[in-house]
């Protein structure tokens, strides 16, 4: 088993805001992340797949193919977007880094053939990141 | 003359949008940066001051004092904000990285005593940054 | 299960020196790290916790709460300190990166509620880091 | 159990090219990585070992000893080399990042005493890396 | 005057070898960089332009336009290439980082309109870079 | 004119402490940096030289020669040292980053032949650095 990781980057706006709470409660729990006018991040996304190496190519998976897939399925939808408003696969989901990583997992997992999705690592800032390994 | 640089970071939303143009023209010029629902960045701000070193401290300026000043005058206003809507010193200014760097220069220059502001360097992503050295 | 990691940084002095050995033996084993006048590092500490995401917040744990805890329990004690002399939770412990990471684990683990401590990763330089996952 | 990681860097040329295929097939599968005149990378190699900490040193393994071993067994052979032509332990192996990481594992594993090799992580660019944990 | 910098990356093979010298002399001067089978690097290229900000866009130059130009004029020719063999604008030039930076300057300068090329900064490794500001 | 920069790294202990002041005054001015038991940093040193490129080598200066010089004249004296106690060229100098950068300039300038020393850039943390360009 070999693990291959590909990094992609995108820039998006969001806010942390639970619509079932009033603004005071949102401010109390989420602090300045609840700013009604949004804020944003340069997200760094690391996608790790695992599998056997193909004897003809030496690849677990062609890293270019993986990059193209991540771009088509994730980056094209989230780059320069508002995560609360613009992204089909985040409808109804509070875009915390945790929820966002899990949503990306579900988008990517269904498109991978011949390898297994191992980890979604999503960096919101250089100080905070989240990892999701699926329902394990 | 010695140059001292202090880095601070903040996260903000913005869009590139000229209100004198219609949406089509904005899309043509600014591309996805004109998304009406905003996008955002982790900005990295480098402030460079220059001066003589104080013989008692060995400092051009106390880096903690510089950090506190940048936080009070800039970061507290822009962190987790919307640059088009929330920031007093950006009212009426299209928040391109260039305009933003110049505006930060003008905010900081008036508060520095005993040293000279030399450069504002502002990174929007790991691939793009702007430098402003004042009206020279 | 989702994993959340928070990075904090601090600067400290230390030396690698076994008091049961003479200076020659310490030099032989620890080389220049045994310099009696100390040396120091900018340490980067990554704390990873794991848990379920709260449906109301989308958080495994509020990253701000985690940061505040790490600062109160670890950073405030070790930043700008001498690891051999100044730190209560390192008394009698040779401050190798390995021992230091384990000691940080034990300080933090007792304060975490509702999540599990998963990993302490401690970088001494950009070329050397240690990971500790508890007694497993 | 504590995990110690040491980073080393080297610069090498290679091409991705399967000698059992013609040039057209190689171009189709490997794209510009098949350029017959080679291309190259600044590789970053992270070697992780695991073990108990020695009570006398606080070390899993002396990081300097680990660095010296990696240099002698790997870096001296691959730095400023052509991976397809110059490296004894890559003879007959297509130098994909995956195959290269596995080959480094086998070179290092046989020299480690008192600790266990845990992971070879090999970065080809800042966007692509591979991890190998042995035959598990 | 505002300065805008755009980073692009590429991977290439090269060797440092003066064809007017024999192999012994090349080894003496260039060391392992003279390896006849080549080695390679992940180059990081920073292009800085300077100019006035356009009042309609807030741009010195559209960073996307600058990126597209660098890709078309430089990256497409040097990425996954052999700098000694494959690149038209390096014919007859020993591809030291210094010479390479100067050659990139001359390629880019002739295509820039409305802004001035200020600096080519070219990183060969994380420890070595070269800057060229034109014939000044 | 072409500018060549070489990075070197070292780890050292220091404190900011003016011996003509009492401890209270030192604490007031230098804060926790005045801790009598020292603290320390991973310093990153960037040395920039400028000159003409040699037509035979394409070099302003051989980067290996520059690295060897920096190691011999600076790194061997400061790595794993106490800057207040152990370094001959810092005797009687308060080791602020500013004073330290200036002292490194004077050590290196006298050894450079055929190129001009342009800048000493010294990073104390990832947030603070100092530049010195000589008596200009």
What distance in Å separates residue F10's CA from the closest CA in chain C?
Answer: 9
Span B33-43, mean pLDDT?
98
The nearest alpha carbon in chain D to C121 belongs to: D3
Q: How is residue B73 annotated by DSSP?
A: I
- pLDDT tens figures, B41-73: 999 999 999 999 999 999 999 999 999 999 999
The dihedral through the CA atoms of A87, A93, A94, A96 has a sign that is negative
Residue F12: closest CA among chain C residues belongs to which residue?
Answer: C39
Please indicate whether chains D and F are in contact, defined as at least 3 beta carbon pairs under 8 Å.
no
Q: Give the residue from chain C lying closest to D52, CA to CA.
A: C98
| Pairwise CB contact (< 8 Å): E131 & F8 | no
Kindly provide the ipTM of the predicted complex, given to two decimals.
0.97
Helix (H, G, I), strand (E, B) or coil at C121: strand
Res. F34 pLDDT band, cuts 50 70 90: very high
**Inter-chain touch D38–E42, beta carbons under 8 Å:** no
Sign of CA pseudo-dihedral F87, F90, F91, F97? negative
E/A touch flag: 3 or more CB pairs below 8 Å: no
Distance of CA F130 to the CA centre of its chain: 9
* Among chain E residues, CA nearest to D84: E37
- pTM higher than 0.80: yes
CB B49, CB B105: distance < 8 Å? no
Does the pLDDT value for residue C95 go beyond 80? yes
Residue B54 CB: number of other CB atoms within 10 A? 16
What angle (nearest 5°) sits at the alpha carbon of residue F45, between those of residues D72 and F33?
115
Indicate whether C136 pLDDT > 90: no
Write the pLDDT tens digit of every residue in F91-108. Answer: 999 999 999 999 999 999
Neighbours of chain B (3+ CB pairs under 8 A): A, E, F
- The rounded distance, in Å, linking the Cα atoms of A3 and E29 is 41
Q: What is the distance between the alpha carbons of residues B128 and B42, in angstroms, rounded to a whole number?
A: 12
Q: 3-class SS at F134? A: coil
| Mean pLDDT value across residues D108-128 | 97
Alpha-carbon gap, residue F45 to C128, rounded angstroms: 19
Q: Report pLDDT for B136.
A: 74
Q: pLDDT tens across D31-44, in order?
A: 999 999 999 999 99
Q: Which residues of E touch D9 (CB under 8 A)?
A: 125-126
CA distance linking residue D34 with residue D18, whole number of Å? 9
Phi-psi domain of F82 (left: phi exceeds 0; alpha: psi -120 through 50; beta: other): beta
Residues C55-84, mean pLDDT to the nearest whole number:
98
What is the distance between the alpha carbons of residues E102 and F60, in angstroms, rounded to a whole number? 12
What is the per-residue pLDDT for F12? 98
Distance from CA of E54 to the nearest CA of F (A): 31
CA distance F67 to chain E (A): 10
Q: Is the pLDDT of residue E74 over 90?
A: yes
User: Are chains C and D in touch, 3+ Cβ pairs below 8 Å?
Assistant: yes
Contacts of A29 (CB under 8 A, 6+ apart): A18, A21, C56, C57, C62
Residues of chain D that touch chain C, judged by Cβ-Cβ distance less than 8 Å: 1-8, 48, 53, 56-60, 62-64, 67
What confidence category does residue F86 fall into, taking pLDDT thresholds of 50, 70 and 90?
A: very high
DSSP string, A40-95: EEEEEEEEEEEEPPPTTT--SS-HHHHHHHHIIIIIHHHTTEETTTS-GGGTT---
The predicted-structure confidence for D11-59, as pLDDT tens digits, reads as follows: 999 999 999 999 999 999 999 999 999 999 999 999 999 999 999 999 9
Chain F residue with minimum CA distance to C83: F39
Mean pLDDT over F63-88 rounds to: 98
Partners of chain F (3+ Cβ pairs below 8 A): B, C, E
Give the number of beta-carbon pairs within 8 Å between A and C. 57
β-pairing, B81-82 vs B2-14, is parallel
Exactly one of D23, D28, D80, D98 is catalytic; name it: D80
Query: How far is Cα A62 from Cα A59, in angstroms, rounded to an integer?
Result: 6
Distances (CA, A) of E111 to B127, E58, E102, E132: 21, 22, 15, 17
Q: Give the C-alpha separation, F39 to F125, whole Å.
A: 13
Buried b (16+ CB within 10 A) or exposed e, D20-35: ebeeeebbebbeebbb
Cβ contact (<8 Å) for C57 and A129? Answer: no
Which among A18, A93, A126 has the least Cβ separation from residue C7? A126
* Chain A contact partners (≥3 CB pairs within 8 A): B, C, D
- Could you list the active site residues of C? 33, 80, 124
Which residues fall within 8 angstroms of residue B3, CB to CB, at 6 or more apart?
B48, B49, B50, B60, B118, F130, F131, F132, F133
Rounded to the nearest angstrom, the minimum Cα separation between D96 and chain E is 15
Helix and strand numbers (H, E) in chain B are 4, 5
The answer to whether B57 contacts F95, with C-beta atoms less than 8 Å apart, is no
For residue D122, pLDDT beyond 90: yes
Contact C127 D8 (CB under 8 A): yes
User: Domain residues of chain E, as ranges?
Assistant: 2-12+41-132
Please name the residue of chain A whose CA is at the shortest distance from the CA of residue D132.
A2
Q: Is the pLDDT of residue D132 over 80?
A: yes
Average pLDDT, chain E: 97
Our CA-based measurement puts residue D83 at a distance from the nearest CA of chain A, in whole angstroms, of 14
At residue B100, the 3 state secondary structure works out as helix
Look at A129 and C5 and tell me if their CB atoms are within 8 Å: yes
Contact B16 E63 (CB under 8 A): no
Considering only CB atoms, A3 lies closest to which of D20, D94, D131, namely: D131
Nearest residue to A47 via CA among A2, A91, A7, A101: A7
Cα(A50)–Cα(D130) distance, rounded to whole angstroms? 10
Specify whether the CB–CB gap between F104 and F95 falls below 8 A.
no
Statement: residue F136 has pLDDT above 80: no
pLDDT at C55 over 80: yes
B–E: how many Cβ contacts below 8 A? 57
Tell me, what's the pLDDT at F119? 98
Tens digits of residue pLDDT in B10-27 = 999 999 999 999 999 999
What pLDDT, on the 0 to 100 scale, is given for residue A136? 75
Q: CB-based burial of residue E72 (10 Å sphere; 0-12 exposed, 13-18 middle, 19+ buried)?
A: exposed
Interatomic CA distance for residues C117 and C48, integer angstroms? 6
Do E4 and B95 count as a contact with CB atoms less than 8 A apart? Answer: no
F33 given a catalytic annotation: yes
Give pLDDT, residue D136: 74
Instruction: Mark yes or no for CB contact C40/F37 under 8 Å.
Output: no
Average pLDDT over residues F47-59: 98
Higher pLDDT, A135 or E106: E106
Written as six digits, the tokens of E99 are 């010479």
Phi/psi of residue B76, each to 5°? -60, -25
Q: Which residue of D has its CA nearest to E30?
A: D80
Pick A98's closest partner by Cβ from C4, C48, C56: C4
Pick the CATH number of A2-12+41-132 from 3.10.620.30, 3.30.479.10, 3.30.360.10, 3.40.640.10: 3.30.479.10
Tell me, what's the pLDDT at C23? Answer: 95
CB contact under 8 A, E2 and B132: yes
According to DSSP H, which parts of chain B are helical? 23-30, 63-70, 76-78, 97-109
**Span B97-135, pLDDT tens digits:** 999 999 999 999 999 999 999 999 999 999 999 999 998
* pLDDT score recorded for residue B74: 98
Give the residue numbers in F contacting C (CB under 8 Å), as ranges.
Answer: 9, 11-14, 32-33, 35, 37-42, 79-82, 85-86, 125-126
pLDDT tens figures, D70-85: 999 999 999 999 999 9
Give chain B positions within 8 Å (CB) of A79. Answer: 32, 39
End-to-end CA distance of chain C: 18
> Phi, psi (5° rounding) for residue E34?
-90, 0
Listed in sequence order, the DSSP H helices in chain F are 23-30, 63-70, 76-78, 97-109
Give F75→chain C minimum CA distance, Å.
13
Residue A112 pLDDT > 90: yes
Query: Quick one: CA dihedral F68, F71, F76, F77, positive or negative?
Result: positive
- Please tell me the distance in Å from B56's CA to the nearest CA on chain E: 34
Q: Which residues of F touch B3 (CB under 8 A)?
A: 130-133
Q: Indicate whether E136 pLDDT > 80.
A: no
Count CB neighbours of D8 within 10 A. Answer: 18
């Amino acid at each position: 088993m070999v693990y291959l990781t590909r990094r992609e980057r995108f820039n998006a706006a969001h806010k942390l805001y639970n619509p079932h709470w009033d603004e005071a409660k949102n401010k109390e729990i989420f602090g300045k992340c609840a700013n009604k006018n949004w804020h944003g991040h340069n997200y760094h996304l690391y996608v790790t797949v695992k599998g056997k190496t193909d004897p003809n190519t030496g690849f677990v998976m062609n890293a270019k193919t993986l990059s193209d897939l991540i771009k088509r399925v994730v980056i094209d939808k989230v780059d320069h977007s508002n995560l609360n408003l613009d992204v089909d696969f985040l409808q109804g989901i509070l875009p915390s880094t945790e929820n966002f990583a899990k949503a990306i997992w579900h988008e990517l997992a269904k498109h991978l053939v011949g390898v297994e999705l191992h980890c979604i690592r999503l960096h919101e800032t250089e100080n905070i990141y989240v990892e999701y390994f699926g329902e394990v």
